Amino acid sequence: MKLCPQCSTPNDDDARFCAHCGAGTDEARPDPLIGRTVGGAYLLQELVGVGGMGRVYRAEQNMLGRTVAVKVIHPHLLGDDQTVARFYNEARAASRLNHPDSVSIIDFGRTEDGILYLVMEYLAGKDLAHILAEEGPLPFGRICRVARHVLSALGEAHALGVVHRDLKPENVICRTVRKGAEQIKVVDFGLAHIVGPGGTSITTPGLVCGTPDYMSPEQGKGETVDGRGDLYSVGVVLFEMLTDRLPYEDDTPTKVVFKHIHDPTPDPRETAPHRAIPDDLAEVCLKALRKKASERFQSADEMYEAVRKIEERLEAAKNASITTCPSCGGRNPAEQRFCGTCGARLTDRFTIPPSFRSIAPPPRTSLLPGPTETRLIGRRAELDRLIELRDQSERASLWVRVVGEAGVGKTRLMNELGQQLVADGDALAAAGPHPSGAIVPYWPIRQLMATLLDVDEPRMREIAESDAVGDPIARAGIAEVLDPKGLDGRRGKGRAEAVAVALAAAVRVAAGRSRSGRVGLFVDDLWRCDSLSARALALLTQRMPEGPLFLMTASQPRNDVEDTDESVRMTLRGLEETESVALLQDRPGPNELAVDREDDTAPAGRLRTPLFLEQLVALGVSELHEEGAPVRLADAVLARFERLDISARRLLQAIAVLGDSAPLEWVRELSRGSDMGSLDALRADGLVEVQGETILICHPFVRELVETSIPAEHRKELHTAALQVAAGHGAPLEVRAEHAWR
Read off the pTM: 0.77
What pLDDT is stored for residue 344 in this prediction? 64
Q: What is the mean pLDDT of residues 580-585?
A: 80
Q: Say whether both 114 and 132 belong to one domain.
A: no
Domain membership flag for residue 337: no
Q: What is the mean pLDDT of residues 475-491?
A: 74
Mean pLDDT of the chain: 83
Q: How many domains, in total, are found in the chain? A: 4
CA dihedral (273, 274, 279, 280) in degrees, to 10, reads -120
Q: How far apart are CA 575 and CA 383, in angstroms?
A: 15
CA dihedral (173, 197, 105, 11) in degrees, to 10, reads 60
Q: Say whether both 166 and 290 belong to one domain.
A: yes
* pLDDT surpassing 70 at residue 535: yes
Domain boundary, last residue among 275, 291, 317: 317
Q: How far apart are CA 469 and CA 462, in angstroms?
A: 10
Q: Say whether both 525 and 558 belong to one domain.
A: yes
* pLDDT surpassing 50 at residue 667: yes
Domain membership flag for residue 349: no
What pLDDT is stored for residue 590 in this prediction? 43
The CATH number of whichever domain residue 89 belongs to comes to: 3.30.200.20
What percentage of residues in the chain have a pLDDT greater than 70?
Answer: 81
Beta-bridge mates of residue 175:
183
What pLDDT is stored for residue 361 in this prediction? 37
Q: Say whether both 141 and 75 belong to one domain.
A: no
The CATH number of whichever domain residue 230 belongs to comes to: 1.10.510.10
* pLDDT surpassing 80 at residue 613: yes
Domain membership flag for residue 558: yes
Helix ranges (H only) for 352-442 are 380-392, 410-423
Q: Say whether both 528 and 429 belong to one domain.
A: yes
* pLDDT surpassing 70 at residue 406: yes
What pLDDT is stored for residue 593 in this prediction? 34
Q: How far apart are CA 636 and CA 407, in angstroms?
A: 12
Highest mean pLDDT among 24-28, 152-156, 600-604: 152-156
* pLDDT surpassing 60 at residue 725: yes
What pLDDT is stored for residue 486 in this prediction? 66
The residue type of 725 is V
- Tell whether the torsion through CA atoms of 148, 150, 151 and 153 is positive or negative: positive
List, in order, residues 6 or more apart from 373 with CB less than 8 Å away.
Answer: 362, 365
Decide if 272 contacts 112 (C-beta within 8 A): no
* pLDDT surpassing 70 at residue 205: no
Beta-bridge mates of residue 70:
57, 119
Domain boundary, last residue among 293, 317, 341: 317
- For 186, the 3-state DSSP assignment is strand
The residue type of 242 is L
Q: Say whether both 236 and 278 belong to one domain.
A: yes
Q: Say whether both 92 and 235 belong to one domain.
A: no
Gyration radius (Cα) of the chain, Å: 31
Q: What is the mean pLDDT of residues 154-162?
A: 91
* CB neighbours of residue 728 within 10 Å: 10
Q: Say whether both 102 and 147 belong to one domain.
A: no
* pLDDT surpassing 90 at residue 141: yes
* pLDDT surpassing 90 at residue 385: yes
Q: Say whether both 240 and 148 belong to one domain.
A: yes
53-62, 488-497, 508-517: the lowest-pLDDT one: 488-497
Decide if 441 contacts 494 (C-beta within 8 A): yes
Domain membership flag for residue 448: yes
- Catalytic residue IDs: 166
The CATH number of whichever domain residue 500 belongs to comes to: 3.40.50.300
Q: Say whether both 393 and 478 belong to one domain.
A: yes
Q: What is the mean pLDDT of residues 24-45?
A: 81
List, in order, residues 6 or more apart from 36 with CB less than 8 Å away.
Answer: 43, 44
Domain membership flag for residue 683: yes
177-186, 603-612, 714-723: the lowest-pLDDT one: 603-612
Q: What is the mean pLDDT of residues 36-42?
A: 91
Decide if 108 contacts 54 (C-beta within 8 A): no
Decide if 113 contacts 73 (C-beta within 8 A): no
Q: Is 329 left (phi over 0), alpha (psi -120 to 50) or beta?
A: left
Q: Say whether both 298 and 420 belong to one domain.
A: no
Decide if 340 contacts 327 (C-beta within 8 A): no
Domain membership flag for residue 362: no
The residue type of 306 is A
Q: Inter-axis angle of helices 531-543 and 443-453, to 10 degrees?
A: 40
Q: Between 355 and 10, name the one with better pLDDT.
A: 10
* pLDDT surpassing 90 at residue 594: no
Pairing of strands 688-691, 661-663: unpaired
Residues 505-532 have pLDDT tens digits of 999 999 999 999 999 999 999 999 998 8
Q: Which domain holds residue 544?
A: 380-572
Domain boundary, last residue among 282, 301, 317: 317
Domain membership flag for residue 459: yes
65-74, 125-134, 579-588: the lowest-pLDDT one: 579-588
What is the number of helices (H) and of strands (E) in the chain? 25, 21
* pLDDT surpassing 70 at residue 646: yes
Domain membership flag for residue 702: yes
Residues 159-199 have pLDDT tens digits of 988 899 889 999 999 988 766 678 899 988 866 554 444 33
Q: What angle do CA 232, 233, 237 make, to 5 degrees?
A: 120
Decide if 25 contacts 5 (C-beta within 8 A): yes
What is the DSSP track for 493-524? ---HHHHHHHHHHHHHHHHHHSSSS-EEEEES
Decide if 502 contacts 545 (C-beta within 8 A): no
Q: How far apart are CA 476 and CA 479, in angstroms?
A: 5
Q: How far apart are CA 540 and CA 127, in angstroms?
A: 59
Q: How far apart are CA 332 and CA 348, in angstroms?
A: 12
Q: Say whether both 92 and 234 belong to one domain.
A: no
Residues 449-461 have pLDDT tens digits of 999 999 988 888 8
